[in-house]
Amino acid sequence: MTEADEADLARMFRAALEGDEQAYAAFLERVAALVRAVTRRKAGSGVDTEDVVQETLLAIHLKRHTWRPDAPVRPWIFAIARYKLVDSLRRRGRRVEVDIADYAETLAEPVEDVASPREVERALDELPPGQRRVVAAVGVEGRSIGEAAAAFGMNETAVRVALHRGLAAIARGRR
């Protein structure tokens, strides 16, 4: 991680907060790779790395308004990632010291074939049907908001609302 990365990430995140979906996807990819690498190294076996990655991504999404656009973005990401990792280790009955420095020193690993963890899947299954089919269509099937709207005979605003509520419910339900 370098200063360039910080500036890069901050720029992507600022664009994302203004509604740039591509910038947001790129930002989340980078965060996922970073969190994946640290979790593998720190948590060892017994923890589903990808569960922790997804929990962190959901937390970042749910709490993205707590970042101040003029503040450094990496300490913000690391604090959330660390909180979520410690949280998930505690829920599995383990005590682990995770230092913020572990994140800063880690080079993001390339994305490899990632398993499909159960926790988000389960949370998705528990959503009301209207939200579930929208989240599944946009996420799993990769449809755009417009395509999902056409497929379900809804207007785009309703699709956006269902997606937003569904994701928020998944994020809140998984703590």
Partner 1 sequence: MDTQSLIRALSQDAAAGAARLDHRLALGLALAAGLAAIVWFVLLGPRQDIAEALTTVRFPFKFVVTLALAVSAALAWRRIARPGAPLATVAPLLLAAPVLLAAGVVMELFAVPEGQRMARLIGTNATVCLTFIPLIGALPLAALLAALRNGAPTRPTLAGAFCGLAAGGLAATFYAAHCIDDSPLFVATWYTIAIGMLTLTGALGGRFLLRW
Residues in contact with partner 1 by CB under 8 A are 16-17, 19-25, 28-29, 32, 50, 53-54, 57-59, 61-68, 71-72, 75-80, 82-83, 87, 111, 114-117, 120-121, 124, 135-136, 138-140, 142, 144-145, 160, 163-164, 167, 172, 175
Minimum distance of partner 1 from residue 38's CB (angstroms) = 15
Whichever of 47 and 67 has its CB closer to partner 1, that residue is: 67
Whichever of 4 and 115 has its CB closer to partner 1, that residue is: 115
Minimum distance of partner 1 from residue 107's CB (angstroms) = 19
Residues in CB range of 98: below 8 A, 6 or more apart: 42, 82, 85, 86
Q: How far apart are CA 33 and CA 96, in angstroms?
A: 21
Whichever of 107 and 111 has its CB closer to partner 1, that residue is: 111
Q: Does residue 56 contact residue 34 with C-beta atoms inside 8 Å? A: no
Q: How far apart are CA 83 and CA 81, in angstroms?
A: 5
Whichever of 41 and 53 has its CB closer to partner 1, that residue is: 53
DSSP letter assigned to residue 67: S
Q: Does residue 64 contact residue 85 with C-beta atoms inside 8 Å? A: no
| Token output for 122 | 């389960």
Whichever of 66 and 107 has its CB closer to partner 1, that residue is: 66
Minimum distance of partner 1 from residue 130's CB (angstroms) = 15
Residues in CB range of 19: below 8 A, 6 or more apart: none
Q: How far apart are CA 106 and CA 139, in angstroms?
A: 28
Minimum distance of partner 1 from residue 129's CB (angstroms) = 16
Minimum distance of partner 1 from residue 169's CB (angstroms) = 12
